[in-house]
C-alpha cells in the first residue's frame, strides 16, 4: 500500500499538496469562531450535488418547468427530500454569508493585506444572491413568477441600457420559455462556474495571508487538521441538521403553476430580500431609482470601501458601527414588511391572497391526482379549465353586476349592490324551497328592485310579480310535504350529481303537486296553485297535463346544464322570460371556454377526489 | 513571504515564463492574436445568439389583413351592456394569439384590463399592471380605488390617477384606447415601461 502511495506521489506530488491543504498552522489554536467560512463551502457543495441531481429531472420551459418540479416533489422517490435540501440550504447559505461577513468586519479581517480577499468575498456574495434570485423563478410557480417579474422590471430603471438589459435577461418582451432557459443557464452554469472560480481565488488568498487571529496567545497553536477540521465538520453537521429539520417539517413549497393571466396578489420575494421590497415603498414617483438602485448601490459601495476606511484612526469602529446600522436597518425593514402583511390594515388582503394561493396549489395537485397525470398543455391548463377555481372570477366579472353568490361576489368579497337572485346554492333543495316559499324575498326576486334594464329601473316588476304573489298567496297553504315534493321533483329535472340521490317517490308526488297544485284532490284552490298553470314542462318528449297560459319560463329539464345554457344565452326568448325579461343575454360576452366553465361552476360540476382517497404526505 | 510570483500554471504564466530567451515582438504578437481568435470565435457566436431578443421582430399579424381591426391593434373584450353606468370597474382578460419563443398559443389571455363605463356611450380602459413594478392591481369597492398588492400604490377608480400621493407609482394606471363597435368594447392592448412618469410603450 505504502509503495503504491509513494509511486502515486512520485508521479503527482499529491503528498505535498495534501500536506499544504491540511497542515496549516493556526496561531492560538482551533476555535469555533473560525467555522463560518467552512460552513459556506459545505453549503455550496451541498447545492452543487443536490443541484446536479435536480438538473437530471428538471426541464426548463414554460410548459414543463412547473410540471417537472411537481414530478420531482410529489412523484419521484425522495424527490421532496432532494428539493427540500436544495431549497433550504440556499436559505441557510444566505444566513451563513451574513454571519461570515459580519465576523470578517468585526475581526478586521478586511484590513491590509487582505483587501483583495475582502473584495473577492463581496463578489462571491453577489454571486450567491444572483443564484438565489435565478433559482426562485425556476419552479415556475405563481410566487416565483410574479416576484421575479418585479425584480426584472426594476432593471429597466438602469439609465440608458435598462430596457435592453431587461429584455436580454428575460429573453424577449415577456416572460416565457427563454426566460427559463436563460435563468437556468445562469443558475446551473454561469453563476456556479463563476462562484467556483472566485472561491478558488478566495481560498488561495486566504491561505496566503492565513487566518485572522484576534488573540494569537489564546491557546497553544494547532493545525488545521484535525483540530479545526473537526470543529468545522461539527458546525457543518449543525447546518445540515437545521436544513433537514426544515425540509421534513416545513417542506419546499410549490405554488400553483405560473399563469400570466392569473394575477397573484401574494407575490413576495424570498424573505432575505424583503427589506429591499419594503424599501421600495418609500420612494414615490420617479424617485424609485433611488430606492431600487442608487441607495442600495451606495450602501454596498461603502462596504466595499471598508479596507480603505479601516486605515483611518477610528476607521475600524466606523466600519463596525456601519455594519450594525445596516443590520438594524435590514431587520427593521424586514420587520415592517412582515407587520404590514400580518397585522396592518392591508394584512387581510394579503392573507386572503395567500389563502387563495394555497387553495390553488392544493387544488392543482388534487386535479393531477384525479386525472392521473398532466396533459401536454401543462398544469396551468388544468387550473384554467377547472370550474371550481376559475368559476368565481368569471362570476365576479360577468354576473356579479346584478347577482350575488352566497351574499358575496363569487370570490368572497362584499358587493356594493345586489339586483338579482343570489345564485350561491342555485338548484339545491334549500334554494328551491326558499324560492317557492318566498319568491319575492331579498334573496330572490326581491333584490330586483335595485335593478334596471335598458336604462329603465325595474321597480317591483319582479319583486311583486306573478311568482312573488303566488308565493305569498299559495305557499302558506301548502303542506310541508307538498313543498318538499315539488322541490324534489324540480331537483330531479336538473340531473345534479352533487346534490345526492333523488327521492323518486317524493319526486313523483312532486309531479302531482306541479300538475294539480296539491296532493289532496279536494284541497281548496288547488287548481290555481298548480305550477303548470304558468310553467310548461316536457318530460320524456311528452308535455305535462293540460298546458296553462305558459306566461312564465318553461321548466323542461330545469336546472340541467342544457336548461341553464339556454336560459343564460336567451333569457328574453318566449319560452323564458319573453317580454318581461330583464336579464342581458350572455351571447358574445365571453369566450366559449369561459362560458362552459361558468355554467359548470354554477351547477358545481367539477372533478372532486372521491372521499377517503385523499393522499397527503 | 517575499514578493516572488507564485508559480502557477496556466497559459498566461507559461507565456510570461517563456520570455527568458527573448523572443521577438512579432512572435509574441502573433501568439496573442492567434490565441484571442481561438476564444473570440465561440464567444462572439454565442453572444450573437444571446443578443437575439434585442432584434426587432415583425409581428406575425402585421402583414395580414385577417380581422377588421387587427391592423389597428384593437381587440374585442366584452359587450357594452355588461358595464353598468355608474357601476364599479370590472376586470376583463384580453384574448389574443400569444407567441412564446417556439410555441404559438392561439387565443389566450395576453393581459387584462379594467373597464369603467362613463356616461351613456363612454368606456375607459386601464391596463391592470401597476406602472411601478408591474404587479396586477386589485379593485377595492369599499375604497373605490385600485390597490397594488406589492408596494401599496393606489389609483382612483374613475380615471386611474394616483390616489394616495405616497404611492410609489410614478404615474396613474395606463389608459388604453377604446372603441365601441356594435355594442362591443374593443381595446388597443398595450404595455408600458414601468418606473417613468410618462407612458413609454414597450417595444
Per-residue pLDDT reduced to its tens digit, B83-101: 877 778 988 989 888 889 9
Chain B: nearest CA to A209, how far in angstroms? 10
Domain shared by B166 and B114, yes or no: yes
Sort out which chain A residues have CB atoms less than 8 A from B112's CB and list them: 261, 263
Per-residue pLDDT reduced to its tens digit, A87-136: 999 999 999 999 999 999 999 999 989 999 999 999 999 999 999 999 99
Report which of residues A483 and A415 the model is more confident about: A483
Most confident of A172-181, B22-31, B71-80: A172-181
pLDDT at A613 exceeding the cut of 80: no
Per-residue pLDDT reduced to its tens digit, A36-60: 999 999 999 999 999 999 999 999 9
What's the rounded Cα separation, in Å, for the pair A463 and A460? Answer: 5
| Contact A146/B at CB under 8 A | yes
Domain shared by B48 and B24, yes or no: yes
Domain shared by B100 and B176, yes or no: yes
Q: What is the mean pLDDT of chain A?
A: 91
Burial A321-332 (b: 16+ CB within 10 A, else e): ebbeebeeebee
What's the rounded Cα separation, in Å, for the pair A54 and B150? Answer: 31
Report which of residues A186 and A112 the model is more confident about: A186
Residue B5 confidence class, pLDDT cut points 50, 70, 90 = low
Residue B200 lies in a domain: no
Residue A336 is inside which H or E element, if any? helix A315-342
Residue B203 lies in a domain: no
Domain shared by B92 and B17, yes or no: no
Structure-block grid coordinates of residue A565: 345554457
> What's the pLDDT score for residue B141?
81
> What's the pLDDT score for residue B21?
57
pLDDT at B106 exceeding the cut of 90: no
Residues 42-71 of B with CB under 8 A from A: 50-51, 53-54
How many contacts (CB atoms, under 8 Å) link A and B?
A: 140
pLDDT at A221 exceeding the cut of 90: no
Structure-block grid coordinates of residue A525: 284552490
> Which of A39, A173, A164, A190 shows the shortest CA–CA distance to A103?
A39
Chain A: nearest CA to B177, how far in angstroms? 20
Burial A523-535 (b: 16+ CB within 10 A, else e): beebeebbbbbbb
> What's the pLDDT score for residue B66?
43
Per-residue pLDDT reduced to its tens digit, A431-453: 999 999 999 999 999 999 888 88
Residue B46 confidence class, pLDDT cut points 50, 70, 90 = very high
> Which of B109, B180, B173 shows the shortest CA–CA distance to B139?
B173
Chain centroid offset of residue A73 CA: 16
What's the rounded Cα separation, in Å, for the pair A157 and B194? Answer: 8
> What's the pLDDT score for residue A611?
67
Residue B7 confidence class, pLDDT cut points 50, 70, 90 = low
Q: Which of B53, B81, B165 sits opposite A284 (nearest CB)?
A: B165
| Contact B87/A at CB under 8 A | yes
User: What counts of helices (H) and strands (E) characterise chain A?
Assistant: 26, 6
Q: Is A404 helix (H, G, I), strand (E, B) or coil?
A: strand
Domain shared by B71 and B27, yes or no: no
Residues 6 or more apart whose Cβ sits within 8 Å of residue B109: A260, A261, B93, B94, B95
What's the rounded Cα separation, in Å, for the pair A207 and A286? Answer: 47
Residues 141-200 of B with CB under 8 A from A: 141-142, 147, 149-152, 165-170, 184, 193-197
Domain shared by B166 and B181, yes or no: yes
pLDDT at B1 exceeding the cut of 50: no
A349·B149 Cβ contact <8 A:
yes
Query: Which residue range is the domain that position B45 belongs to?
Result: 11-54
Q: Which of A149, A265, A588 sits opposite B134 (nearest CB)?
A: A149
Sort out which chain B residues have CB atoms less than 8 A from A275's CB and list them: none
Domain shared by B20 and B98, yes or no: no
Mean pLDDT of B119-129: 90
What's the rounded Cα separation, in Å, for the pair A280 and A526? Answer: 72
> Which of A95, A91, A120, A154 shows the shortest CA–CA distance to A327?
A95
> Helix axis angle, A480-494 relative to A504-516, nearest 10°?
100
B92·A282 Cβ contact <8 A:
no
Number of domains in chain B: 2
pLDDT at B63 exceeding the cut of 70: no
Interface probe, candidates A285, A400, A597, chain B, greatest B C-beta count within 10 A: A285
What's the rounded Cα separation, in Å, for the pair A510 and A483? Answer: 8
Q: Are A345 and A351 in contact (CB under 8 A)?
A: no
Domain shared by B109 and B21, yes or no: no
A173·B203 Cβ contact <8 A:
yes
Q: Which of B87, B103, B202 sits opposite A173 (nearest CB)?
A: B202
Chain B: nearest CA to A263, how far in angstroms? 6
Residues 6 or more apart whose Cβ sits within 8 Å of residue A4: none
Percent of chain B with pLDDT over 70: 81
Mean pLDDT of A457-483: 90
Mean pLDDT of A567-572: 91
Per-residue pLDDT reduced to its tens digit, B129-144: 999 988 899 988 888 8
Residue A526 confidence class, pLDDT cut points 50, 70, 90 = confident
Per-residue pLDDT reduced to its tens digit, A339-369: 999 998 889 889 989 999 999 999 999 999 9
A168·B88 Cβ contact <8 A:
no
Q: Are B173 and B137 in contact (CB under 8 A)?
A: yes
Residues 56-85 of A with CB under 8 A from B: 62-63
Domain shared by B73 and B147, yes or no: yes
Structure-block grid coordinates of residue B146: 385600485
Per-residue pLDDT reduced to its tens digit, A487-509: 999 999 998 888 889 999 999 99
What's the rounded Cα separation, in Å, for the pair B164 and B177? Answer: 25
Sort out which chain A residues have CB atoms less than 8 A from B121's CB and list them: none
| Contact A282/B at CB under 8 A | yes
Judged by average pLDDT, the poorest of A543-547, B108-112, B154-158 is A543-547
| Contact A197/B at CB under 8 A | no
Residue B67 confidence class, pLDDT cut points 50, 70, 90 = very low
Q: Are A88 and A59 in contact (CB under 8 A)?
A: no
Residue A22 confidence class, pLDDT cut points 50, 70, 90 = confident
What order of strands is seen across the sheet that includes strand B122-127? Answer: B74-79, B184-188, B175-181, B122-127, B103-118, B90-100
Structure-block grid coordinates of residue A51: 443541484
Please tell me which residue of chain A has the smallest CA distance to B8: A204
Sort out which chain B residues have CB atoms less than 8 A from A261's CB and list them: 93, 108-112
Q: Are A492 and A507 in contact (CB under 8 A)?
A: yes
Per-residue pLDDT reduced to its tens digit, A229-269: 999 999 999 999 999 999 999 999 999 999 988 888 888 99
Domain shared by B45 and B115, yes or no: no
Residue B65 confidence class, pLDDT cut points 50, 70, 90 = very low
Question: What are the start and end residues of each CATH 1.20.810.10 domain in chain A?
Answer: 29-348
Q: Which of A154, A397, A584 sits opposite B91 (nearest CB)?
A: A397
pLDDT at A202 exceeding the cut of 70: yes
Q: The CATH number of the domain where B128 resides is what?
A: 2.102.10.10
Report which of residues A613 and A530 the model is more confident about: A530
> Which of B60, B32, B46, B69 shows the shortest CA–CA distance to B186?
B69
Residue with cell 415592517: A336
Residue B3 lies in a domain: no
Residue B49 lies in a domain: yes
| Contact A500/B at CB under 8 A | no
Interface probe, candidates A288, A345, A404, A413, chain B, greatest B C-beta count within 10 A: A288
Domain shared by B26 and B67, yes or no: no
A267·B196 Cβ contact <8 A:
no
> Which of B157, B98, B152 shows the shortest CA–CA distance to B124?
B157
| Contact A285/B at CB under 8 A | yes
Please tell me which residue of chain B has the smallest CA distance to A147: B135
CA distances from A416 to A406, A407, A420 (A): 14, 11, 13
Residue A157: exposure state from Cβ atoms within 10 A (0-12, 13-18, ≥19) = buried
Question: Domain A29-348: which CATH class?
Answer: mainly alpha
Domain shared by B98 and B142, yes or no: yes
Amino acid at each position: 500500500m505504502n509503495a503504491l502511495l509513494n509511486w502515486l506521489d512520485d508521479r503527482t506530488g499529491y503528498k505535498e499538496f495534501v500536506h499544504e491543504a491540511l497542515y496549516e498552522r493556526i496561531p492560538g489554536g482551533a476555535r469555533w469562531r473560525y467555522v463560518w467560512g467552512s460552513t459556506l463551502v459545505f453549503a455550496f457543495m451541498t447545492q452543487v450535488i443536490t443541484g446536479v441531481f435536480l438538473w437530471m429531472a428538471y426541464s426548463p420551459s414554460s410548459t414543463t418547468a412547473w410540471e417537472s418540479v411537481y414530478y420531482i416533489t410529489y412523484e419521484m422517490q425522495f424527490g421532496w427530500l432532494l428539493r427540500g435540501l436544495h431549497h433550504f440550504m440556499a436559505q441557510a447559505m444566505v444566513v451563513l454569508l451574513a454571519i461570515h461577513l459580519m465576523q470578517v468586519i468585526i475581526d478586521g479581517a478586511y484590513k491590509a493585506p487582505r483587501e483583495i480577499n475582502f473584495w473577492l468575498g463581496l463578489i462571491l456574495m453577489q454571486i450567491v444572491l444572483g443564484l438565489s434570485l435565478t433559482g426562485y423563478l425556476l419552479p415556475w410557480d405563481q410566487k416565483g413568477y410574479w416576484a421575479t417579474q418585479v425584480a426584472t422590471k426594476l432593471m429597466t430603471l438602469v439609465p440608458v441600457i435598462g430596457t435592453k438589459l431587461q429584455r436580454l435577461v428575460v429573453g424577449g418582451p415577456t416572460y416565457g420559455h427563454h426566460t427559463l432557459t436563460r435563468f437556468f443557464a445562469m443558475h446551473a452554469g454561469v453563476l456556479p462556474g463563476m462562484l467556483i472560480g472566485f472561491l478558488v481565488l478566495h481560498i488561495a488568498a486566504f491561505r496566503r495571508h492565513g487566518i485572522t487571529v484576534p488573540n494569537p496567545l489564546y491557546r497553544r497553536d494547532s493545525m488545521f487538521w484535525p483540530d479545526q477540521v473537526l470543529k468545522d465538520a461539527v458546525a457543518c453537521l449543525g447546518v445540515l441538521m437545521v436544513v433537514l429539520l426544515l425540509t421534513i417539517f416545513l417542506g419546499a413549497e410549490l405554488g400553483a403553476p405560473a399563469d400570466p393571466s392569473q394575477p397573484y396578489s401574494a407575490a413576495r420575494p424570498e424573505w432575505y430580500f424583503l427589506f429591499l421590497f419594503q424599501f421600495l415603498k418609500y420612494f414615490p414617483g420617479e424617485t424609485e431609482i433611488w430606492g431600487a438602485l442608487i441607495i442600495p448601490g451606495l450602501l454596498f459601495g461603502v462596504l466595499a470601501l471598508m479596507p480603505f476606511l479601516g486605515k483611518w484612526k477610528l476607521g475600524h469602529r466606523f466600519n463596525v458601527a456601519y455594519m450594525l446600522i445596516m443590520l438594524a436597518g435590514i431587520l427593521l425593514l424586514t420587520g415592517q414588511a412582515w407587520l404590514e402583511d400580518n397585522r396592518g390594515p392591508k394584512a387581510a388582503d394579503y392573507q386572503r391572497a395567500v389563502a387563495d394561493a394555497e387553495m390553488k396549489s392544493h387544488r392543482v395537485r388534487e386535479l393531477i391526482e384525479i386525472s392521473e397525470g398532466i396533459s401536454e398543455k401543462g398544469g396551468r391548463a388544468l387550473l384554467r379549465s377547472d370550474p371550481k377555481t376559475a368559476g368565481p372570477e368569471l362570476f365576479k366579472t360577468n354576473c356579479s353586476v346584478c347577482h350575488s353568490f352566497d351574499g358575496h361576489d363569487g370570490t368572497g368579497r362584499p358587493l356594493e349592490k345586489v339586483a338579482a337572485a343570489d345564485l350561491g346554492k342555485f338548484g339545491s333543495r334549500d334554494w328551491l324551497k326558499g324560492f317557492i316559499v318566498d319568491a319575492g324575498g331579498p334573496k330572490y326576486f326581491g333584490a330586483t328592485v335595485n335593478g334596471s334594464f335598458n336604462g329603465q329601473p325595474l321597480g317591483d316588476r319582479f319583486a311583486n310579480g306573478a311568482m312573488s304573489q303566488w308565493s305569498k298567496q299559495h305557499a302558506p297553504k301548502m303542506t310541508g310535504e307538498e313543498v318538499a315534493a315539488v322541490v324534489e321533483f324540480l331537483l330531479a329535472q336538473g340531473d345534479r350529481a352533487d346534490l345526492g340521490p333523488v327521492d323518486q317517490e317524493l319526486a313523483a308526488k312532486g309531479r302531482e303537486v306541479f300538475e294539480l297544485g296539491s296532493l289532496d284532490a279536494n284541497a281548496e284552490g288547488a287548481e290555481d296553485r298548480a305550477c303548470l298553470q304558468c310553467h310548461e314542462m316536457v318530460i320524456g318528449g311528452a308535455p305535462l297535463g293540460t298546458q296553462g297560459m305558459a306566461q312564465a319560463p318553461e321548466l323542461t329539464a330545469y336546472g340541467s346544464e342544457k336548461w341553464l345554457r339556454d336560459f343564460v344565452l336567451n333569457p328574453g326568448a318566449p319560452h323564458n322570460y319573453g317580454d318581461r325579461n330583464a336579464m342581458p343575454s350572455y351571447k358574445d360576452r365571453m369566450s366559449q371556454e369561459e362560458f362552459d366553465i361558468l355554467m359548470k361552476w354554477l351547477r358545481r360540476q367539477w372533478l372532486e377526489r372521491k372521499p377517503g382517497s385523499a393522499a397527503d404526505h | 513571504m517575499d514578493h516572488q510570483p507564485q508559480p502557477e500554471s496556466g497559459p498566461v504564466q507559461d507565456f510570461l515564463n517563456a520570455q527568458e530567451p527573448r523572443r521577438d515582438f512579432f512572435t509574441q504578437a502573433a501568439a496573442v492574436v492567434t490565441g484571442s481568435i481561438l476564444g473570440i470565435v465561440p464567444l462572439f457566436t454565442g453572444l450573437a445568439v444571446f443578443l437575439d431578443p434585442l432584434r426587432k421582430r415583425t409581428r406575425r399579424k402585421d402583414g395580414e389583413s385577417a380581422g377588421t381591426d387587427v391592423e389597428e391593434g384593437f381587440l374585442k373584450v366584452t359587450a357594452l351592456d355588461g358595464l353598468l353606468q355608474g357601476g364599479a370597474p370590472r376586470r376583463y382578460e384580453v384574448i389574443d394569439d400569444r407567441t412564446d419563443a417556439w410555441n404559438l398559443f392561439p387565443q389566450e389571455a395576453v393581459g387584462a384590463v379594467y373597464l369603467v363605463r362613463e356616461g351613456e356611450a363612454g368606456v375607459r380602459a386601464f391596463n391592470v399592471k401597476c406602472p411601478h413594478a408591474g404587479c396586477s392591481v386589485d379593485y377595492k369597492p369599499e375604497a373605490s380605488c385600485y390597490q397594488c398588492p406589492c408596494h401599496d400604490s393606489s389609483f382612483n377608480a374613475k380615471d386611474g390617477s394616483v390616489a394616495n400621493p405616497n404611492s410609489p407609482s410614478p404615474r396613474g394606471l395606463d389608459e388604453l384606447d377604446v372603441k365601441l363597435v356594435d355594442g362591443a368594447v374593443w381595446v388597443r392592448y398595450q404595455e408600458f415601461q414601468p418606473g417613468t412618469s410618462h407612458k413609454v410603450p414597450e417595444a
